[in-house]
């Protein structure tokens, strides 16, 4: 499905177009859910019997059944009800990723790393699509209810003049609090380049990506400094510097996609060369393991092979099932990892691969370069959605 | 006649028959006279031997305690190893399409290699220090003779781009240039060690073993290059500034060096400085009248590697002639259309025709632009327009298994990441 089709229901937004959007949503989402169900059913039997994988399959099946049997939406009232149902459906899938993560971690011996990575890539990408379609419809529904100007253009979840600088500041504030609470210190953020650049994008996507990248940068900076100067290393943390570069309009290429670029640079000690091949693997994390070599060269397990047993992991793990060197993600999520009441600053190990998926979703990119012992640069390139002629979602 | 007799008959016809294409082909008189099909046997003998890949550590270790016996051993090692490596390259050339190797510039290189091969394999074994001196002179002259290989090959292959897919062209260039570097390393290292022995130098005090600096200070090297570039005439950065004094009107970029300041490692000084010089030259190219552009060189000492990142604010690859930054390392005009610009081709011809050629060193460039001799100045200008600094830097960087990556923040600037192994335990990346 083309992004332009999705957007067309709001351009202009009318009662008819909204009902057409509902119809489209009712046909598109079930189709994608079916693909997810089929993918889950194709997994090895033993994997399918894992309770967490089974739970995910159940959730998808019931969502599919619900939508497939849903009567047509023919009036605005029916749509209002439909929208609330849709919201609940989205909510019911909120923990899909951690649930599947737990399941796959337990099944690591039954699937290869690339099989797991491939499956998760497909699952997360599909999830992004479903949420996009659902939330676009919900947004348009709300817009029609509240707008005083009928028949105008509404972009739903896309904000035509999203300001990266503003988003960076708000994400940095959140991450800063988290960092301070968890580690006792936080670096300043610096924004340079074309700070006033704006572009058309989906704000929640940008927010997710920036939050994850800033978490990495902030945590690394504080840990690195503390390792060098002791826990009392106050005040002088080197800043995390974000450089913004606006979309380039090349004279020669009018219909070419344009991108807004950002570079997030930290002095957090960088990534060890031998860990570089693993940074985009699901569930690889260096959280809590700064003092040890993170990758055990003898190991050749799943994508979690690079993880060490963290402090509380042994407590709730079934030792007979656990592969050497693995931690339990569940313990990270439930509180034995680096967690505060506000949220986790690190631990799942999904931040980078998911951020990359989000960046690539509309045709952008995310690349990481590291200076071992010094710091890391992450290059983020996001597609401007105002001329979204060819994007498949 | 039977068909097999027919085949025999065909095989005995003269090999040299040229098909006229728009290419400039070697005319019959200067044609590779050495295309004697049946004389290839000697070459095949040498080509069937494996090259012995060395590590930096081995080069240092061997060169540390020099005496007459060891230098003679080294001489014979070089004497027998070089022809093997050249033989591999010749076989590689022979496998290229006929139309490519008969192209004038490529043919020139082929002949040079063949002649070097013949001379080397016929050089008698070395048994005395005097014979070693003669050997050093001989090898030195060979190195001089081959000074035009890089521009000639680059030009020849650019013009032959239609006949070679980009991957094949780049792979071939890479094998040629890495091998070339490796032979020069062997030769120059031996010549330097011989000179040290002759002059009674002690490697421990000088910090040099042959061509290797055992405690190369990264920061110092960078600052040396920055100094040279800051003092360079404006036309080094912008060929259009020929004669026009844009100096003073445009602000020279300011270079900040940060990171792990005291980093030192053992490496071939000339290689490291060439890479730094070329990268800084690119980074310092962007000048404005209004502000002082900033270039930042960050040094990082990792566990097994040294890394240097050079960040500039020169706008990145906005109006780009390449699809991906890595295409800048390519010799192919399919990947990088600027390679076919008339200016580039013309410059390559000039440098290729000049006896001085191009050795890919910092000194060579600095001497040229310091000179007031108009001949040398013309050479320098041509040199600047060749545009193979990045591909050559890439080859140097990967020679001992390092890496070079370029990332653009389109509209803002460029970051280049250099990684070099620091333990000296990586093998040369030549084909065996």
Shared domain for A115 and A170, answered yes or no, is no
For residue B23, what pLDDT is reported?
52
ipTM: 0.82
Give dist(CA A167, CA A210) in Å, integer: 8
Is A368 found in the same domain as A304?
yes
- Residue A393 resides in a domain: no
Query: How far A110 CA sits from the closest chain B CA (Å)?
Result: 35
Domain count, chain A: 2
pLDDT single digits (tens) B298-347: 999 999 999 999 999 988 886 666 778 888 888 776 777 777 777 777 77
Of A118, A145, A172, the residue at which a domain comes to its end is A145
The answer as to whether A290 is a domain residue is yes
* φ and ψ at residue B415, rounded to 5 degrees: -120, 130
Q: Which pLDDT tens digit goes with each residue over A330-358?
A: 333 333 333 333 445 555 578 899 999 99
Q: Find chain B residues with C-beta within 8 A of A194's C-beta.
A: 411-412
Q: Are A245 and A96 members of one domain? A: no
Per-residue model confidence (pLDDT) at position B375: 63
Chains A & B: contacts with CB separation below 8 Å: 74
Domain boundaries B211-240+249-421, corresponding CATH code: 3.30.565.10
User: CB B412 to CB A367 under 8 A?
Assistant: no
Residue A135 shares a structural domain with residue A166 = no
Q: How far apart are CA A352 and CA A378, in angstroms?
A: 10
Contact with chain A for residue B411, Cβ under 8 A = yes
Domain boundary among A123, A145, A167: A145
DSSP codes joined into one string, B47-86: HTSPP---BHHHHHHHHHS--HHHHHHHHHHHHHHHHHHH
Task: Report whether pLDDT(B158) > 90.
Answer: no
Q: Which residues of B touch A270 (CB under 8 A)?
A: 300, 302
Residue A377 lies in a domain: yes
Whether B401 and chain A come into contact, CB under 8 Å, resolves to: no
- A140/A172 same-domain check: no
Q: CB B367: neighbour CB atoms within 10 A?
A: 13
Distance in Å, alpha carbon of A180 to nearest chain B alpha carbon: 26
Among partner residues A259, A261, A373, which is closest to B302 by beta-carbon distance? A373
* Residue that wins the pLDDT comparison between A32 and B336: A32
Q: Is there a shared CATH topology between the B41-199 domain and the B211-240+249-421 domain?
A: no
- Spell out which residues of chain B touch residue A245, defining contact as CB-CB under 8 Å: 316, 409-412
Does residue A273 fall inside a structural domain?
yes
Distance CA A177, CA A230 (A): 21
Q: What percent of chain B has pLDDT over 90?
A: 48
- Predicted TM-score (pTM) of the model is 0.84
Across the range B90-111, mean pLDDT stands at 92
Write down which residue in A145, A174, A209 finishes a domain: A145
Comparing alpha-carbon positions, the chain A residue that sits nearest to B317 is A248
CATH architecture of B41-199: Up-down Bundle (1.20)
Same structural domain for residues A346 and A199? yes
Residues of chain B with Cβ-Cβ distance to A367 below 8 Å are 407
**Cβ of B318 under 8 Å from any chain A Cβ?**
yes
Cβ–Cβ gap A373/B260 under 8 Å:
yes
pLDDT at B384 over 80: no
Residue A153: inside a domain:
no
The per-residue pLDDT for range A362-377, each reduced to its tens digit, is 999 999 999 999 999 9
Report whether pLDDT(B254) > 50: yes
| B294 sits in which H/E element | strand B294-301
Interface test with B, best of A199, A242, A248, A269 (most B CBs within 10 A): A248
- Once rounded to an integer, what is the mean pLDDT over residues A140-146? 88
Determine, yes or no, domain membership for A163.
yes
Query: In chain B, what percentage of residues exceed pLDDT 70?
Result: 83
Question: What does the domain layout of chain B look like in residue ranges?
Answer: 41-199, 211-240+249-421
**For B272-302, how does the pLDDT look when each residue is reduced to its tens digit (9 = 90+)?**
999 999 999 999 987 776 778 899 999 999 9
User: Does the beta-carbon distance from B302 to A272 stay under 8 Å?
Assistant: yes
Residues A201 and A336 in one domain: yes
The backbone torsions φ and ψ at residue A216, rounded to the nearest 5 degrees and listed phi first, read -60, -50
Q: Which of B24, B40, B74 is nearest to B190 (CA)?
A: B74
**Do A29 and A96 share a structural domain?**
yes
- Asked if residue A150 is part of any domain, the answer here is no
Q: For A101-155, what is the HEC assignment? A: HHHHHHCHHHCCHHHHHHHHHHHHHHHHHHHHHHHHHHHHHHHHHHCCCCCCCCC
**Among A21, A245, A232, A242, which Cα is nearest to A134's?**
A21
Instruction: Examine the domain organization and report whether A200 and A338 are in the same domain.
Output: yes
Q: What percent of chain A has pLDDT over 70?
A: 79
Residue A41 sits at the vertex; the CA angle it makes with A119 and A285, to the nearest 5 degrees, is 30
The pLDDT value given to residue B383: 64
CATH number at A367 reads: 3.30.565.10
Q: Same domain, yes or no, for A45 and A189?
A: no
Q: Which residue range is the domain that position A187 belongs to?
A: 159-387
Considering the domain architecture, whether residues A117 and A246 belong to the same structural domain is answered as no
CA distance B419 to B416: 10
Q: Do A377 and B319 touch (CB under 8 A)?
A: no
Report the chain A residue with the minimal C-alpha distance to residue B310. Answer: A371
Interface of B with A in 218-277 (CB under 8 A): 259-260
For A186-216, what is each residue's pLDDT tens digit? 999 999 999 999 999 999 999 999 999 999 9
pLDDT at A339: 34
Chain A, nearest residue to B404 by Cα: A369
Compute the nearest-CA separation of A182 from chain B (Å). Answer: 27
Which pLDDT value is given to residue A313? 28
pLDDT > 90: percent of chain A: 54
What CATH number did the domain enclosing A64 receive? 1.20.140.20
Residue that wins the pLDDT comparison between B356 and B263 = B263
Q: Do A243 and B412 touch (CB under 8 A)?
A: yes
User: Cβ(A378)–Cβ(A366) under 8 Å?
Assistant: yes
Report yes or no: B170 at the A interface, CB cutoff 8 Å: no
Please give the pLDDT value at position A208.
Answer: 94
Q: A177 with A136, same domain?
A: no
CB A337 within 8 A of CB A331: yes
Contact between B259 and A374 using a beta-carbon 8 Å cutoff: yes
What residue of A is the nearest CA neighbor of B418? A371
**A248: closest chain B residue by CA:** B411
Contact B410 A261 (CB under 8 A): yes
Chain A hits for B412, Cβ within 8 Å: 193-194, 243-245, 261, 263
Q: Which residues of A touch B (CB under 8 A)?
A: 193-194, 243-248, 250-251, 259, 261-263, 270, 272-273, 367, 369, 371-375, 377, 379
> Is 80 exceeded by the pLDDT of residue A44?
yes
B340: DSSP letter? G
In angstroms, the CA A333 to CA A338 distance is 9
Cβ distance of B412 and A194 shorter than 8 Å: yes
């Amino acid at each position: 499905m083309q992004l332009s089709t999705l957007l067309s229901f709001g351009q202009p937004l009318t009662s008819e177009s909204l009902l057409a959007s509902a119809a489209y949503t009712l046909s598109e989402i079930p189709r994608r859910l079916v693909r997810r169900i089929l993918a889950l059913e194709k997994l090895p039997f033993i994997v399918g019997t894992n309770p967490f994988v089974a739970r995910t399959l159940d959730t998808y099946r019931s969502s599919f059944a619900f939508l497939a049997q849903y009567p047509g939406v023919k009036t605005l009232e029916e749509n209002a009800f439909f929208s609330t149902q849709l919201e609940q459906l989205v909510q019911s899938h909120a923990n899909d990723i951690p649930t599947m993560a737990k399941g796959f971690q337990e099944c690591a011996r039954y699937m290869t790393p690339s099989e797991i990575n491939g499956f998760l890539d497909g699952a997360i990408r599909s999830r992004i699509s479903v949420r996009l379609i659902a939330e676009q419809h919900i947004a348009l529904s709300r817009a029609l209810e509240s707008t005083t100007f009928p028949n105008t253009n509404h972009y739903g979840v896309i904000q035509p003049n999203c300001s990266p600088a503003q988003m960076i500041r708000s994400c940095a504030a959140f991450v800063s609090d988290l960092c301070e609470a968890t580690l006792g210190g936080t670096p300043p953020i610096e924004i340079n380049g074309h700070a006033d650049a704006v572009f058309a994008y989906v704000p929640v996507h940008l927010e997710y990506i920036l939050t994850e990248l800033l978490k990495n940068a902030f945590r690394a900076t504080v840990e690195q400094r503390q390792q060098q100067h002791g826990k009392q290393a106050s005040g002088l943390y080197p800043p995390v510097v974000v450089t913004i570069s606006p979309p380039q309009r090349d004279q020669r290429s009018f219909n070419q996609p344009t991108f807004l670029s950002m570079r997030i640079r930290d002095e957090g000690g960088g990534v060890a060369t031998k860990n570089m091949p693993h940074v985009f693997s699901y569930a690889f994390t260096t959280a809590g393991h700064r003092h040890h070599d993170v990758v055990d060269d003898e190991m050749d397990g799943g994508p979690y092979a690079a993880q060490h047993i963290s402090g509380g992991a042994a407590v709730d793990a079934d030792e007979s099932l656990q592969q050497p060197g693995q931690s339990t993600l569940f313990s990270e999520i439930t509180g034995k990892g680096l967690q505060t009441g506000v949220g986790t600053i690190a631990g799942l190990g999904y931040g980078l691969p998911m951020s990359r998926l989000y960046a690539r979703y509309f045709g952008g990119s995310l690349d990481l370069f590291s200076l071992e012992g010094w710091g890391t640069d992450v290059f983020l390139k996001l597609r401007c959605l105002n001329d979204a002629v060819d994007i498949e979602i | 006649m039977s068909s097999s007799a027919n085949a025999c008959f065909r095989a005995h016809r003269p090999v040299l028959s040229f098909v006229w294409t728009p290419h400039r082909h070697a005319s019959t008189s200067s044609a590779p006279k050495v295309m004697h099909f049946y004389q290839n046997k000697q070459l095949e003998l040498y080509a069937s031997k494996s090259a012995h890949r060395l590590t930096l550590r081995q080069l240092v270790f061997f060169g540390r305690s020099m005496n007459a016996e060891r230098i003679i051993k080294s001489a014979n090692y070089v004497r027998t190893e070089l022809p093997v490596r050249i033989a591999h390259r010749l076989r590689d050339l022979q496998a290229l399409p006929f139309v490519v190797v008969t192209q004038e510039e490529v043919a020139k290189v082929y002949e040079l290699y063949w002649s070097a091969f013949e001379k080397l394999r016929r050089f008698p074994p070395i048994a005395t220090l005097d014979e070693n001196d003669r050997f050093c002179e001989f090898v030195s002259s060979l190195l001089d003779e081959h000074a035009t290989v890089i521009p000639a090959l680059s030009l020849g292959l650019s013009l032959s781009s239609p006949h070679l897919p980009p991957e094949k062209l780049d792979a071939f260039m890479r094998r040629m240039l890495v091998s070339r570097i490796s032979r020069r390393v062997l030769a120059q290292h031996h010549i330097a060690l011989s000179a040290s022995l002759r002059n009674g130098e002690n490697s421990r005090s000088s910090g040099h073993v042959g061509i290797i600096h055992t405690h190369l200070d990264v920061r110092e090297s960078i600052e040396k290059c920055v100094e040279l570039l800051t003092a360079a005439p404006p036309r080094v950065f912008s060929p259009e500034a020929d004669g026009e004094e844009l100096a003073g009107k445009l602000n020279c970029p300011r270079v900040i060096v940060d990171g792990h300041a005291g980093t030192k490692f053992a490496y071939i000084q000339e290689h490291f400085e060439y890479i730094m010089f070329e990268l800084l030259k690119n980074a310092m190219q962007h000048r404005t009248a209004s502000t002082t552009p900033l270039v930042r060189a960050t040094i990082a000492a990792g566990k097994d590697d040294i890394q240097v990142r050079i960040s500039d604010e020169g706008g990145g690859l906005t109006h780009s002639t390449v699809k991906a930054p890595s295409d800048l390392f390519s010799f192919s005009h399919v990947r990088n259309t600027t390679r076919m610009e008339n200016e580039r081709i013309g410059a390559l011809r000039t440098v290729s025709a000049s006896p001085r050629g191009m050795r890919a060193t910092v000194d060579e460039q600095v001497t040229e632009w310091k000179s007031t001799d108009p001949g040398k100045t013309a050479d320098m200008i041509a040199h600047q327009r060749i545009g193979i600094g990045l591909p050559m830097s890439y080859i140097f960087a990967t020679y001992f298994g390092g890496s070079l990556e370029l990332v653009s923040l389109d509209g803002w600037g460029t970051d280049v990441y250099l990684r070099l192994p620091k333990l000296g335990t990586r093998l040369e990346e030549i084909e065996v």
